[in-house]
Amino acid sequence: MLVRALLIGNKIETRKLQKALLFNPALKDPYIINLEKDKYIVVFKYGVVVFWGLVQDEIDQVMVKINDYVDTPIHMQKNEEIEVTIGTSEDKIKTSHLDITELSIEKIAIISEVLSKSVALEHFEEEVEEVLDLFGVIINGVSKGEKIKLSNKALLKKVGFAMNIQHLIISQLAMLDKPALTWDSAKLDVFHSNLTEEYEIDERYSTLSKKLEVIFRNIDFIMNFLDSRRGFYMELIIIALIALEVVLFIFE
């Protein structure tokens, strides 16, 4: 069975979606819909939908219903896929493949959550890299004595962007939190830990957090540089005005 996680926006209004679709969910957190035998949809509030056993036409039909409840849709949608084999003697995690003993709601929830976090992290990783590249060019130019071409307004947008990513990671993704389903089951806890390790969720989250810290340090440096440069120009203007007054006094 093919399982596909699709990042479609910054947020999905899951409560409104539940009321609109009028489905009896197989599970409320995460929100799991059982369309028919061996076909499931898992919706996460941070903008990811995971499809179990659906072909592309079926995914397109579902997306028509979900799109109305997506906040800030992402034009370049991200996706991550894994092939799942059901009915094996034991659970095994392989590269781009997963063997599970049974297709339980608990395992659907755990696998979907790890996949959803992975695809969301990929999106944030790319956006953070773009900002780092931009600041790298600016700082390199400063080291060469070049003029910063980034306005205060543009810089503030980058600050807002970085803070928004940090907010989404902390408040919505809860990257390091284990699902409640693992609290009362040692087997599910081990299964979740192994899957999280396979997708390097903790390591990627840590790396992303460090890059965000670098971005904030770069922003602080550039803001201080712009303030000092503005102060320098103000001093030059004051000196020029004083010199002009002296010249006018002498001329008079």
Q: Is residue 234 assigned to a domain?
A: no
Q: Is residue 235 assigned to a domain?
A: no
Angle at which helices 186-198 and 201-251 pack, to 10 degrees?
50
Segment 29-63, tens digit of pLDDT: 889 998 888 899 999 988 899 999 999 999 998 89
Q: Is residue 195 assigned to a domain?
A: yes
What total of structural domains would you count in the chain?
Answer: 1
Q: Is residue 238 assigned to a domain?
A: no
Contacts of 243 (CB under 8 A, 6+ apart): none
Q: Is residue 103 assigned to a domain?
A: yes
217 has a pLDDT exceeding 90: no
* Inter-residue contact 220 to 135 (CB < 8 Å): no
Return the minimum-mean-pLDDT range out of 17-26, 113-122, 173-182, 197-206. 173-182
Q: Is residue 246 assigned to a domain?
A: no
Q: Domain range spanning residue 52?
A: 2-227
* Inter-residue contact 54 to 62 (CB < 8 Å): yes
Q: Is residue 104 assigned to a domain?
A: yes
Ordered alpha helix ranges (H), 169-200: 186-198
Q: Is residue 128 assigned to a domain?
A: yes
